[in-house]
Structure 1
Amino acid sequence: MTTREELQLLANQSLLAHFADVCAGVVIVDASANVVWMNDHYPRRLHIADPAAMIGQPVEKIIPNSQMRQVVECGRPIMLDVMDFEGDSFVVTRLPLRNAEGTVVGGVGFMIFDDLRHLAPVVSRYQKLRLDLAEAERKLADARRTKYTFSSFIGAGPACSSLKQAARRASRTSSSVLILGETGTGKELLAQAVHAASPRANGPFVAVNIAAVPENLLEAEFFGVAPGAFTGAERRGRDGKFKLADGGTLFLDEIGDMSLALQAKLLRALQEREFEPVGSNKLIAVDVRIIAATSRNLEEMVAAGSFRADLYYRLNVILLRTPALRDRPEDMALLAEHLIESICRLQGMAPHGISLAALSRLQQHDWPGNVRELANVLERALLMSDGDVLEAEDLDLVMPKPKAPANFAGANVIGIAEAVASAERAAILAALRNSHGNKVQAARLLGISRAALYEKIAILGVDAHAA
């Protein structure tokens, strides 16, 4: 039976003999890069009249552009190269030869093709792969670029103008930004605008909605997972949002919903500018700007011990507050026209206008959902309208009745929206009292999510401590 060593020797001999037959040329050199042997094809291809006279000569004397000396001196192969010789070009491969102890004792060079056109299919496929990769990278970069700028934040009133001026100042720095405001006031839009106007505009903008990610997955979402970190983990590992945002901006939406344990890890990553992926002991350095946003009162949360004071001060370097829609009624006309134009374009509808009576009708609502609620109302009204101009009657079909003036004869009657808000406020307070202030348990009693409870507390102005 043939031994493993014999098979290996036979394979080596067969391989060399096979290449010597099919290649356009084969040359072997010793450890000093002197020619030891050439096959019959090589001398003819190089126009050498007396092959025997070449034995023992330095390889460069015969083949001026040969890299065989580099191969035997460094012991590393040159797997594919193009060698020029007297106006011709050859595709060559160069390999070191080692003895049983692993010492380099020479090298062998193969002239694989003597016509570069043989490589055309390989080069064509390589070029296609490069183009496909470049296109994939371009699409990924586009997906991580911002869609909004300061011109996208519609408003010309004092509150909006003051906010945009402060945000433009913030965009000139790399300091952390904290954006506070009710839901639907455009906090992420403002964050994207700050990034787009900053020196990091060519870097990625990566957003994480903390309220939308299960708490047990947030650490992996932030810092990534090392290969095989746990059962079911991807074999190649997975980059987290910090790594994806390297060189750009990481937007942390609903930062107030983050657990205390993860707050400590986030604080360390912000302070040290490095982190460890889940299941890894290797530190990865990153350069990330943080923009955080929340509709909750972080100062109250710090006082209550549910948000770390040191993280709050780390995030609250530059503070921006997005005004509620009810606090900037002068922007209603601009916002309504802009939203109607966008909705018509997205829905493939003919352009629509809005009447003065309809604008007046919009002014009679408090807009607890702010611009997001306004967009919803306008879209529903447009889809139900038969005219080219939105009228107050179109809005009445999709909006609650306006609140009655405080001085009219039936002032003791309240509107449906106010009655619902009052009932929700009472239910939340009762749930908080029954759960002794535990918001997770209170949300369970109310049959809503924790994030929804926090949002209603902020919108309805519920004093959680009074419960």
Structure 2
Amino acid sequence: MTVIPADLPVDADSLLMMATQSMFDTFAQSAMGMMVVDRQHRIVWISEGYKRFLPALGHAEDDFVGRLVEEVVPNTLMAQVIESGQPILVDLLTNQAGTFLVSRLPLRDPNGTVIGAMGMVLLDHPETTMQPLIGKFSRLQRELDSARQQLAEHLTRERRPKHTVASFIGASAPAMEVKRQARRVAQTDSTVLLLGETGTGKELLAHAIHAASARAARPFVGVNIAAVPDTLLEAEFFGVAAGAYTGADRKGRDGKFKLAHGGTLFLDEIGDMPLALQAKLLRVLQEQEVEPLGSNQVQHVDVRVIAATSRDLAAMVRAGSFRADLYYRLNVLPIRLPPLRDRLSDLESLVEALADDIARRSGMAHKSLSPDALALLAHQPWPGNIRELRNALEQASLMTDDGLLTASHFDAVLDAAQTPTRLQAPAPATADEAVPKIAGVKSLPQAVAELEAQAIREALTATGGNKLAASRLLGISRATLYEKLSA
């Protein structure tokens, strides 16, 4: 090493060169072995300490200069350091010569260009001298792997289908046809469009199709478009890159397409999707690629889409409120679910299954229905279909301790105006109930209900069935409108 007298001035460049030489000499003396390779990965220098490892690698002590480092040192990552320009400060290298604790640094010219790399053996056989540290690291790694596996299993369970085709209750001709079509489309990867009135079981059938498909072991992810604000839909579908906007998660957030990768994405109430987002959804369906908000990177996704709607999409296409190209992309395998009024022969089976579920969820004993109760339910119009039927059963079950529900138990539940034919004579009124009726005068609740229903019908007619626009026209939230439609 060159020594400059202390009384002589030293410029910055000279000082830097001396510091570099001093650092190199220190590394060469303190490390168990060191080598330098050039930009083409060729070895240009190797320390005396490193030479003692070469025989174990099958090389003579003078058989190394000019050769590619990959040929001399198996499993080396020197090439990675050169190509990336990033150091690997601490690493374990294992080959025929043993296991070594090593460090690798890129070498740069004055312009900052990588011209080679320097590798050092810091410790020989660290598994012996560093056993406590390596043992702790191995234990932490095992715990991390176990936690990741448990989390993956939990997420998989959460995303598994909750229903099978057998869960679609009914043996009527319409119900059997739906189940036949569901099993058939489950064997393909094509997009499915479930059509039907609210409460007919579209979400249940989506679960069933996924469960019967080759994707059953992969995630089932559902999103109700009507329940997500329009401003959040794009982030909900495509995800958000880290720091994409103020308040965004620093780690970013995966969208529903990414979460459903390899599995099925269920898009409920697809008819409520804003026009601006329909074009982006169409591109994802065609290209199987998503671009998170705030990101320039395109991510490939493998997703089977099942969409559902209670609206007339063809009419919406004609009205210009739904894109025709997206409609044709979704309407590949359409399945129309029949309303309850078209399969009343399934009513008893449905009531039995719903009663079982109500008892299980409420912790109460199972309640049966008398023949007159079943006959009464069979004469209801059920505009809310099976969801409305469940609501009536749950109310009647929870309002009494009786184990057998008769027609009288449903009197307080069912609206008499919706019952065209009473199958039993009403019980005589008590003295307190004997209030004189005046022709043409309605009760206040009845008048309010009829006025609400009329206003909702007019708003839906004026907006072409668009529930979001109708709710804004009525001055209520979309959720409130859905509640009143299903009531």
CA contact (8 A) 2:289 2:300 kept: yes
**Are residues 245 and 415 of structure 1, via their aligned partners in 2, closer, same or farther at CA, if it must alter by over 3 Å?**
farther
CA contact (8 A) 1:33 1:72 kept: no
- AA at the equivalent of 1:153: F
Structure 2 residue aligned with 1:427: 455
In 1, Cα distance between the equivalents of 2:344 and 2:458?
Answer: 34
CA contact (8 A) 1:180 1:295 kept: yes
SS at match of 1:380: helix
| Correspondent of 1:388 among 403, 421, 426 | 403
In 2, Cα distance between the equivalents of 1:254 and 1:287?
Answer: 22
Query: What does 1:349-388 align with in structure 2 at a 5 Å threshold?
Result: 349-388=364-403
- Per the TM alignment, residue 436 of structure 1 is displaced from its structure 2 partner at its CA by 11
Structure 1 residue aligned with 2:73: 67
The two structures have a TM-score, normalised by structure 1, of: 0.77
| Correspondent of 2:477 among 449, 452, 457 | 449
- Per the TM alignment, residue 375 of structure 1 is displaced from its structure 2 partner at its CA by 1.9
In 1, Cα distance between the equivalents of 2:407 and 2:222?
Answer: 38
CA contact (8 A) 1:182 1:324 kept: yes
In 2, Cα distance between the equivalents of 1:95 and 1:247?
Answer: 39
- AA at the equivalent of 2:312: N
In 1, Cα distance between the equivalents of 2:109 and 2:387?
Answer: 75
**Are residues 437 and 223 of structure 1, via their aligned partners in 2, closer, same or farther at CA, if it must alter by over 3 Å?**
closer
Structure 1 unpaired stretches of 5+: 49-53, 60-64, 461-467
CA contact (8 A) 2:221 2:264 kept: yes
Task: Tell which deviates more after alignment, 309-318 or 432-441.
Answer: 432-441
**Are residues 12 and 451 of structure 1, via their aligned partners in 2, closer, same or farther at CA, if it must alter by over 3 Å?**
same
CA contact (8 A) 2:185 2:209 kept: yes
**Are residues 441 and 143 of structure 1, via their aligned partners in 2, closer, same or farther at CA, if it must alter by over 3 Å?**
closer
The two structures have a TM-score, normalised by structure 2, of: 0.74
SS at match of 1:426: helix
Matching of residue 95 in structure 1 with residue 104 in structure 2: yes
Matching of residue 28 in structure 1 with residue 34 in structure 2: yes
CA contact (8 A) 1:358 1:392 kept: yes
Structure 2 unpaired stretches of 5+: 1-9, 38-42, 65-70, 83-87, 426-438
Matching of residue 166 in structure 1 with residue 178 in structure 2: no
CA contact (8 A) 2:245 2:294 kept: yes
Structure 1 residue aligned with 2:350: 335
CA contact (8 A) 1:37 1:55 kept: no
Matching of residue 110 in structure 1 with residue 122 in structure 2: yes
CA contact (8 A) 1:34 1:58 kept: no
Structure 2 residue aligned with 1:463: none
**Are residues 413 and 341 of structure 1, via their aligned partners in 2, closer, same or farther at CA, if it must alter by over 3 Å?**
farther
- Per the TM alignment, residue 269 of structure 1 is displaced from its structure 2 partner at its CA by 2.2
In 2, Cα distance between the equivalents of 1:133 and 1:191?
Answer: 29
SS at match of 1:199: coil
- Per the TM alignment, residue 434 of structure 1 is displaced from its structure 2 partner at its CA by 8.6
Structure 2 residue aligned with 1:405: 421
CA contact (8 A) 1:33 1:69 kept: no
- AA at the equivalent of 1:67: V
In 2, Cα distance between the equivalents of 1:438 and 1:345?
Answer: 37
- Per the TM alignment, residue 192 of structure 1 is displaced from its structure 2 partner at its CA by 1.1
Once the two structures are aligned, what percentage of the paired residues are identical? 45
Matching of residue 296 in structure 1 with residue 324 in structure 2: no
String of CA shifts for 1:425-444, please: whole Å, max 9, x gaps: 43235557899999766534
Structure 2 residue aligned with 1:51: none
SS at match of 1:201: coil
In 2, Cα distance between the equivalents of 1:307 and 1:69?
Answer: 58
String of CA shifts for 1:134-183, please: whole Å, max 9, x gaps: 11111112222211110111111111111111111111112221111111
- AA at the equivalent of 1:214: P
| Correspondent of 1:232 among 226, 229, 247 | 247
In 2, Cα distance between the equivalents of 1:357 and 1:130?
Answer: 60
Structure 2 residue aligned with 1:464: none
CA contact (8 A) 1:170 1:318 kept: yes
- AA at the equivalent of 1:271: Q
CA contact (8 A) 1:33 1:68 kept: no
Matching of residue 147 in structure 1 with residue 162 in structure 2: yes
Across the aligned residues of Structure 1 and Structure 2, the Cα RMSD in angstroms comes to: 4.3
**Are residues 122 and 147 of structure 1, via their aligned partners in 2, closer, same or farther at CA, if it must alter by over 3 Å?**
same
